[in-house]
Every structure is written in C-alpha cells, then in structure tokens.
Amino acid sequence: MLAILFSIMPDNERDFVNKLFSKMNIKMYNISFNILRDKFDAEEAVAQTFLKIIDNIERISALPCPQIEPYCVIILKNETMNIIRKRKKVIHVENVDHFDHKDEAYDIEEEYLQALNKEKLLTCINRLSDEDKTLIHLRFANEMGFKHIADLLGITEEAAKKRGQRILKKLRQFYEGSDEDAKDS
C-alpha cells in the first residue's frame, strides 16, 4: 500500500500538470499577450503561473473540474498584473483593470498637493465621509480611472470627476483649517 502511494501519487500529479499545460498554455499565453503586448513577458507570465500551479498541485487537483481552469486563469491574470507592476509596462487593452493613463481633472490641485505634509493629509482623509474615502481610495490607492469609478458607483463619468474635485477641495479646506467651509461644501 505504501509503495503504491509513493509511486502513484506523484505520477498522477505530473500527468495532471502536463494535461493542464497542454490544454491551457496557448490560450493562457494569448490572454497574457493581449494585456502585456510583449511575447517574452507573456511567456514569463504563463511560466510563472505553471510554476505556481505545480507548487500547489494538491490544492488545485482537488478542485471540482469546472473550477480548475477558471482558478488557473485567475492566477495567470494575477501573474500578468504582477509583471506589469514590476516592470511598469504600458497596458494596451481597455479591459485590464483600472489602469488609467490619461491626465485627468486634477491639474488645478497638482501643484498644491506637492507641498503637503503627509501625516497631516492622512488625518484630513480620515475626516472624510465613508463615501468620499471610498472614491479617493479607488482613484489613488487602486489607481482606477474615473470611467471605472463612475461605472462602479453607478454615476456618470463627469459626476465622478466633479465628486473627485470636490473631495480634493474639501481636503484642502480641512488641511488649511477651514473646517467650517469644508462642512458647507
């Protein structure tokens, strides 16, 4: 029994990986290539994905069959995003989440922001309402574009931009101590 366990289990897992690789690698490569537009990086993303699959083969092989491919695709997309983050690649497709390259409606505030004290600004952000905090977290921490934010909030892009500007104005007023003005706005 022990001998059987020793010999059979790794072979099954190796077969599983090989089958998965044969079935998925070309599509995976194409998914990644569509995002990265770089052959080498796309291959790297697939390679990293399969190394991760191999490292976690017991967990993955135990998933119900219909979940295995989606699980692997999510890992692939995550690896692709990691490559983008590491190498600061330009994204060429719109459906990659929320990377926005347009310079948007912050021009008025830009110079002002550079001169701010970080800790003080953090305190000011904490004073914002939950809704306002969510918007600026999505915009700055998650680097989402206004179109995506607008879709998520169920408002127009223009309204999202205006809300963004109002929040920055409010922060400015908090920062400068004009609390009363900030409350009124």
Partner 1 sequence: MQKTAKDMMKEICQLSLQNEFKRIAKLNISNIKYQSLSTGQIEQLARKIALLPSEYRNILFFHYCFNSNPNETDKMLETENTINKLPYIQKMLSSLMGLEDLWIDEGSMKKASQIVLKEMTKDYENLKVQGRPDYSKEFRRKLKTITIKGNPNSIFMQMAKRVAVFILVCILSISAVLVVSVEAREKMLGWIIQVYPKFSIFTLQNTNDDNDLVKLSDLKINYVPQGFELVDTHEGRTMLIYNYISEKNEELTIKFLDPSGEGKSYYDTESAKVKEIKFKDAKAYTWETDALTYFIWYQDGVECHISGNLNQDKIIKVADGISK
User: Two tokens at 142?
Assistant: 């998650």
Of 103, 109, 160, the residue nearest 135 (C-alpha): 160
Among 92, 137, 166, 183, binds partner 1 (CB under 8 A): 137
Residue in the structure block whose two tokens are 């979940």: 67
Determine if 22 is a binding residue for partner 1 (CB under 8 A): no
Least Cβ distance, residue 177 to partner 1 (angstroms): 18
Of 140, 132, 138, the residue nearest 162 (C-alpha): 132
Of 33, 157, 24, 34, the residue nearest 95 (C-alpha): 34
Q: What is the contact mask toward partner 1 in residues 94 to 133, using x (rule: CB under 8 A)?
A: ---xx----x--xx-xxx-xx-x-x--xx--xx---xx-x
Q: ∠126-130-131 over CA atoms, to 5°?
A: 125
Determine if 140 is a binding residue for partner 1 (CB under 8 A): yes
Residue in the structure block whose two tokens are 């990377």: 99
Q: Give percent helix, percent strand, percent coil of the chain, each to the nearest 5.
A: 75, 0, 25
| Of residues 45-104, those binding partner 1 (CB under 8 A) | 46-47, 50-52, 54-59, 61-67, 69-71, 73-75, 77-78, 81-82, 97-98, 103
Nearer to partner 1, 40 or 184 (CB): 40
> 52 and 26 in contact (C-beta within 8 Å)?
no
Least Cβ distance, residue 69 to partner 1 (angstroms): 7
Nearer to partner 1, 130 or 184 (CB): 130
Alpha-helical regions (H) of 93-138 = 107-114, 118-126, 130-136
Q: How many residues bind partner 1 (CB under 8 A)?
A: 83
Least Cβ distance, residue 170 to partner 1 (angstroms): 14
Least Cβ distance, residue 43 to partner 1 (angstroms): 5
Determine if 175 is a binding residue for partner 1 (CB under 8 A): no
Q: Which stretch binds partner 1 (CB under 8 A): 86-94, 147-155, 175-183?
A: 147-155
Determine if 155 is a binding residue for partner 1 (CB under 8 A): no
